[in-house]
Structure 1
Amino acid sequence: MDITQLILDDHQEQRRLFAILEQIDDGDVETLAAVWGRLAAFLETHAEAEERCFYPALLKLGTGAGGKPTAAAETTDAIKDHNEIRDAVAKVAQSKVGSRPWRAAVAEANKANGDHMAEEEREGLTDFRLHAPLQLRHDLAVAFAAFEARHVTGVKPVDKDPEAYVAEHAGGR
């Protein structure tokens, strides 16, 4: 098991759930609400699992990839992205399920998440695969999977200050 693969698998599931939402009729508000509820909880649980398991280790081992000069730059950007995704998810709740404003807010959340996933796949995940030993990738995958399993119904969304997060987790770098 490898944490980078678990993260990629989660990304694929997020893409799948957004695609499912696009194919459900606006009038089927019960199904839209159910699928969105699952996706919203999943997005936050995934972000929190990354922030607890992946990014602290990346800060210790990474050197920068995909156009970012350092692991700190990759991480700062990722935490900012997570905050933007949280804000976009919260905006969805402000509109009636299935309405035009609701669809627009879901599309905004999809864009914020899609942009983040693409950057993370080019930068942090690549950097980590290049520098982290397989045993560590396995151990972090176990912790990541356990966190997501324990919080399958979601966690409370809490924005984090990106610079403070990096300072707290950089471990002397």
Structure 2
Amino acid sequence: MDITELILSDHHEQRRLFAMLDDVDPADTGTLGSLWERLAAMLEVHAEAEELFFYPALLELGQRRTNEGDTGGDEVDETKDAIGDHNDIRDGIIEAGRHEVGSNGWWKGVNAAREANDEHMGEEEHEGLADFRRHAGLDTRHRIAVTFAAYEAKHADGVKAVDKDPDEYVEDHS
């Protein structure tokens, strides 16, 4: 098991669930609500798991690379950007929750979460995950993946969404 593969797999499932929402008859609010409930919980749990397990390891990798004189990494900026993206995703989820499923306001929140998530996944896949695959050993990637997977399984029904200040997050985990 490899944390980078686990995160990529989650990203694939998130994309699939957003696409499923597009395929549901707009009048079928029961199905829309059920799919959204599952997706919203997955987005929140995934973000929290990344913040608990992946980003601290990414920041540690960046610090190690800096100490070794490698100036190629930008893990601090990548992490701050990712935390900001997670806040935007949470804001979309919260906005959708303020409205009746299937309403214009609900779709506005869903689409805000989707846009923030699309941006986040693209950046993370090309930056943080790629850096981690290149510079973190398989033992480290496996250890984090096991912990990450256990956390997601334990919290499959969701976690409380809490925005984080990106600067404070990096300071607390550096």
Which category describes the TM-score, using the shorter chain as reference length?
over 0.9
1:144 and 2:151 equivalent? no
Pairing of 1:37-52 with structure 2 (within 5 A)? 37-52=37-52
Q: CA deviation at 1:69?
A: 5.4
For 1:60 and 1:30, the matched residues in 2 are separated by 44
CA contact (8 A) 2:61 2:136 kept: yes
CA contact (8 A) 1:27 1:98 kept: yes
Hey, what does 2:90 align to over in structure 1? 86
Hey, what does 2:7 align to over in structure 1? 7
Q: CA deviation at 1:165?
A: 0.7
Residue 111 of structure 1: which of 88, 108, 115 is its match? Answer: 115
CA contact (8 A) 1:33 1:97 kept: yes
For 2:105 and 2:48, the matched residues in 1 are separated by 27
Pairing of 1:7-86 with structure 2 (within 5 A)? 7-62=7-62, 70-86=74-90
Gaps of 5+ in 2: 67-71
For 2:2 and 2:93, the matched residues in 1 are separated by 28
Hey, what does 1:122 align to over in structure 2? 126
The amino acid across from 2:26 in the alignment is D
The amino acid across from 2:95 in the alignment is K
Q: What TM-score results when the alignment is normalised by the length of structure 1?
A: 0.93
For 1:56 and 1:84, the matched residues in 2 are separated by 20
For 1:50 and 1:4, the matched residues in 2 are separated by 11
The amino acid across from 2:3 in the alignment is I
Which segment drifts farther, 113-122 or 55-64? Answer: 55-64
The amino acid across from 1:14 in the alignment is Q
For 2:76 and 2:147, the matched residues in 1 are separated by 22
CA contact (8 A) 2:92 2:111 kept: no
Gaps of 5+ in 1: none
Extract structure 1 runs of 4+ deviating beyond 2 A: none
The amino acid across from 2:123 in the alignment is E
How large is the Cα RMSD of the aligned pairs?
1.4
For 2:93 and 2:131, the matched residues in 1 are separated by 28
For 1:31 and 1:74, the matched residues in 2 are separated by 36
Q: Percent identical across equivalent pairs? A: 57
Count of aligned pairs between the two proteins: 167
